[in-house]
Amino acid sequence: MSDEQRDQVSGEQEALVRALVGAAPPPPTFDADRVTTAAASLVGKRAREVADSWPQLARCLGPRLTERFLDWADSHPVPTGISNPWADGLAFQLAEVSSSELDTDAIMERQRGRAQAVVRRSGGPGTPAKVRRRRGPLLLVKRSRSRRAGRRRTIITLTVTPDHVRTWCIPRR
């Protein structure tokens, strides 16, 4: 296979992947009906994975979760860099689901999810680049272990502005 042929096949494969994730129309070299069917199947799989990753959300919304997620996913293809259903579900929740639709357990699940999105582990390399670039309030969760008797605790720091910082220390059992 020549370099020209490799480049052509690579371009066709790239166009096919974009079509399968909903970011582009089906390429002319492929059967449009089959590509559309496969893309719909992948979006359905994406919805099922979100439901599995966010069980309280799935319980609160019930069968409406799938239809609402599919509507949302039509205009939100899988973003580059987000390859897991947990992050996909968080983005869906923040954009489409109001707190009034959720019960206490689902709201707690959402809050834990938002906190985990910016977790910095103790002893790690520091705050990830994604967190440093983020605008608006910043929530960092640090898990640590004290020197005395191996006690563990969670330190939560909320930075609204450089002058407005709140910190909580929660002992873990």
Cβ–Cβ < 8 Å for 104, 110: no
Number of Cβ within 10 Å of residue 61's Cβ equals: 21
Q: Indicate if the pLDDT at residue 28 is higher than 60.
A: yes
**Domain map of the chain by residue range?**
1-117, 118-173
What percentage of the chain has pLDDT greater than the value 70? 63
User: Which one has a higher pLDDT value, 21 or 165?
Assistant: 21
Task: Check whether 42 has a pLDDT greater than 80.
Answer: yes
pLDDT recorded at residue 87 = 80
Q: Distance between CA 96 and CA 144 in Å, rounded?
A: 35
CB atoms within 10 A of CB 51: 18
Higher pLDDT pick, 98 / 128: 98
Q: Is the pTM of this model over 0.75?
A: no
pLDDT tens for each residue of 55-90: 999 999 999 999 999 999 888 877 665 567 888 888
